[in-house]
Each structure stands twice: as C-alpha cells, then as structure tokens.
C-alpha cells in the first residue's frame, strides 16, 4: 500500500499526534508498506525509511511557540507525484486543508483524523464567539473525507453531534518497551526535585498552554511541604507559568525525549493532569506504563483511560479545592503504590501494534469503497 500522510505537526515536534504517527509509520514500514509524509518544514527529511516532504513553515501571531505550514498549492503537485493508494490528513486545519481539498478534487481515497479540540481552546484564549465558526470550518473539512478517525468515544459522540460523518475511534497505544517502572534513575530524580529527592515528586508532561490549567498545582505546594513539582515540556504559556510558580519548589526542564523522558516518568511519584480539553492524552498511558498513580480532571476522555481509585484519582475540574484535596490523598505511600501497580498491570501489554493494524484496516476499507464507486461511475 502506498500511504501518503499530510499532517500539521511532525518531528522534531513532540506531542501526542507525533507520537501516534511515528509509531504507526514504523509499523506500516515494517509490514512492507510505502509511506510519504507532507509536513511543516522543520528540518526533517526522512523517518526510518519514510520520505518527509517539508513545506515552508512560520510562526503565527496567535501561537509563537512552534511553526505551522499554511495552505499550499504545491500539495496538488505532490499528490500527483506520489500517486498514493490512500491519503490520510491528520488534524486538517491549515496545511491539511490543502490536503483535503486537492485529494478530494483529484479523487484520491481520503481519511481524516481529529486530534485537537480547537473549538474548546477558543474559551481559554478569550475567543468564545468563534466556537461556532470553528466547528463549521472543521466540519466542512472532515465531511470531505470518506471516513473520520478520533481518539475517544466521548469525542466521537461530540463530533457526531456536530454532524461529522462516518466517525470511528482510533485505538489507544503506548510504547511499553520505552516506558517502564524500571527506568527510575536517582540522578534524574535529583534533577527533577532540585536536590530534594526525599519529597514526593509531582510530574506534569506536555505542552505548556492556558487550556492545560497547570496553575492549579500551586495550591498543593502551598498546602503541603511534602511535595515538589516538575514540569516537562514547553509552549506559549511557559513564561506566565514560571512567574506563577515563582517561590515554590518547581523545576521547569523544557522538552525531554526518549530514554530521558522515560526516566523522568519512572523517577516521579505522582502524575498530575489537570486538562479537560484533551481528545485522549497519551501522556496518561505513558505515566501508567511507568507505574505512576494519576491525578486527573474528571472528563469524558480521561474516564475512558483512568478508573477512579484503581489507576488513579479523578477530581471535580470545576473546583480547585477538589483538586488540592485529591492530590493530598497521595501523601499516603500505600495508596500511591497500589494505584501505580494497578495502572501498570492494566496497560503494560498494550503496545502500538493494535492501533496501527486498525489504521491499515480503515485504509483498506476506504480504498475498496472508493474503487467500487469509481467502477460504478465508469459503467454508468
């Protein structure tokens, strides 16, 4: 199968979309398929045998922390040159809009996947009046695809309520070879705790943006001297967060990758996840695979991964007091150990293969349906 992936984000960027894509592409290549990626040009031209075609990227006024590629007519030429069996547009918005438009116009089999709750983000950037327009725009793009993927059942229901067509849930995955409790490292813990490794280490991993609601964690640090906090990641909200946590035992590391990131997870005591805007939250599974108990906001996608009092603790996202009391429960070492061990037992055999096989099955389904429709048109 000749697979063309057009994505708004790719390496060296680090987020859940890139993690899912790189693991999927690796599986596709290992099973004899050809893969080409069209993405913003961030200096990467190849990934483990897949050709990466970069298109000009720039930072946008409203989001300065990473470059994006704008709609580009060159996508049409690239589509014709690649002549793919299937086009998968990931998170269509800017560059992906060109992928959707030209794939449909030239009549290539087309799948789109939805990974980011942009309409919900509007509330955090004081742009609530644009939510209706954003839903209209994303619905228009996704309706051009023969099949749409999303990453949780709650998001599937929401997309169907917004009149997206033929929506399916793309399974979860996690790299259990990379993320494991045995990766705990005293030197990494010393760095993340700023030398206070006798304290209980709270860990956040992810993009630093207003909708992540990381500020809530300061209330715990003010209430209890048993905790220190490490923030792994970067983003447009880093400077305000550094100011917000000034005077507390908080360490900002910037991005971590690979083994270094795995060691960070396994060296912590509790993973905190205040966001309610995620379509999935792959970091939750990475933390579980690392044997960490979770404290997370009680939201639909989170409930699909975290069972309260089994893998972690869910709190009322409308109440800062609820968050604080929930984290403070994990001063109890026995509770931390139970939740972390149960989380690991329930996820340590998951891997990425199932979701990658599922994607290939969806690709084949769309190709066959497209060919049948084409044959009907030829005969009529």
Contact status, residue 80 vs residue 124, Cβ threshold 8 Å = no
- Same structural domain, 26 and 144: yes
Residue 370's contacts (CB-CB under 8 Å, 6 or more residues apart) are 109, 146
The answer, yes or no, to whether residue 380 has pLDDT greater than 50, is no
Structural domain span for residue 307: 181-347
Query: What pLDDT, on the 0 to 100 scale, is given for residue 377?
Result: 58
The answer for residues whose C-beta is within 8 angstroms of residue 259's C-beta and 6 or more apart is 178, 183
Q: How far is the C-alpha of 371 from the C-alpha of 375, rounded, in Å?
A: 6
Same domain, 225 and 144: no
The lowest-confidence range among 140-149, 159-168, 301-310 is: 301-310
Residue 253 · residue 264 · CB < 8 Å: yes
In angstroms, rounded to a whole number, what is the distance separating the alpha carbons of residues 34 and 39?
Answer: 17
Same domain, 320 and 360: no
Tally of domains within the chain:
2
DSSP secondary structure letter of residue 5: E
DSSP state of 363: H
* Cβ partners under 8 Å of residue 108, min gap 6: 4, 79, 84, 86, 87
Do residues 142 and 168 make contact, with C-beta atoms less than 8 angstroms apart? no
What are the beta bridge partners of residue 42?
none
Locate tokens 């869910």: which residue?
314
What's the average model confidence in pLDDT over 252-273?
Answer: 97
User: Distance between CA atoms of 128 and 124, rounded to whole angstroms?
Assistant: 8
For residue range 181-207, list pLDDT tens digits in order: 999 999 999 999 999 999 999 999 999
Residues 371 and 342 in one domain: no
Based on the fold, state whether residues 145 and 267 are members of the same structural domain: no
CATH number at residue 217: 3.40.50.2000
Handedness of CA 281, 282, 288, 293 (dihedral sign): negative
What is the reported pLDDT for 301? 84
pLDDT tens digit sequence for 282-304: 999 999 999 999 999 998 889 99
Query: How would residue 376 be classed by pLDDT, with cut points 50, 70 and 90?
Result: low
Same domain, 14 and 98: yes
Say whether both 124 and 226 belong to one domain: no
Residue 378 pLDDT exceeds 60:
no
Q: Do 121 and 197 lie in a common domain?
A: no
- pTM score, whole prediction: 0.92
Residues 162 and 188 placed together within one structural domain of the fold:
no
Q: Is the same domain home to 12 and 102?
A: yes
For residues 109 and 168, state if they share a domain. Answer: yes
Both tokens of 138, joined, read 């994303």
Average pLDDT (105-124) is: 90
């Amino acid at each position: 199968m000749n697979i063309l992936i057009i994505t708004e984000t790719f390496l060296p960027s680090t987020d859940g979309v890139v993690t899912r894509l790189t693991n999927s592409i690796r599986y596709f290549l290992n099973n004899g398929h050809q893969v080409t990626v069209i993405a913003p040009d961030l200096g990467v031209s190849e990934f483990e045998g897949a050709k990466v075609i970069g298109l000009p990227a720039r930072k946008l006024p409203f989001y300065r922390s990473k470059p994006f590629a704008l709609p580009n007519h060159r996508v049409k030429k690239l589509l014709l040159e690649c002549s793919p069996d299937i086009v998968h547009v990931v998170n269509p918005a800017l560059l992906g809009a060109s992928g959707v438009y030209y794939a449909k116009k030239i009549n290539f089999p087309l799948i789109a996947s939805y990974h980011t709750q942009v309409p919900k983000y509007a509330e955090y950037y004081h742009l609530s009046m644009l939510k209706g327009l954003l839903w209209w725009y994303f619905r228009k793009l996704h309706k051009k695809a023969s099949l749409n993927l999303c990453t949780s059942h709650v998001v599937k229901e929401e997309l169907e309520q917004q009149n997206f067509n033929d929506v399916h849930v793309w399974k979860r995955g996690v790299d259990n070879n990379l993320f494991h409790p045995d990766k705990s490292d005293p030197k990494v813990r010393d760095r993340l705790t700023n030398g206070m490794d006798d304290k209980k280490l709270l860990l956040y991993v992810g993009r630093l943006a207003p909708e992540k609601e990381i500020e809530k964690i300061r209330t715990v640090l003010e209430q209890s001297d048993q905790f220190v906090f490490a923030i792994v990641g970067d983003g447009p909200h880093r400077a305000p967060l550094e100011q917000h946590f000034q005077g507390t035992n908080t360490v900002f590391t910037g991005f971590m990758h690979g083994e270094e990131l795995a060691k960070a997870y396994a060296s912590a005591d509790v993973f905190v996840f205040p966001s309610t805007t995620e379509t999935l939250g792959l970091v939750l599974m990475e933390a579980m695979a690392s044997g960490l108990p979770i404290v997370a906001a009680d939201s639909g996608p989170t409930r699909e991964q975290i069972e309260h009092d089994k893998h972690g603790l869910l709190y009322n996202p409308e109440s800062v007091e609820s968050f604080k009391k929930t984290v403070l429960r994990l001063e109890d070492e026995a509770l931390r150990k139970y939740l972390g061990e149960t989380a690991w037992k329930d996820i340590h055999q998951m891997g990425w293969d199932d979701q990658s096989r599922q994607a290939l099955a969806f690709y084949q389904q769309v190709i066959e349906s497209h060919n049948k429709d084409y044959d009907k048109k030829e005969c009529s």
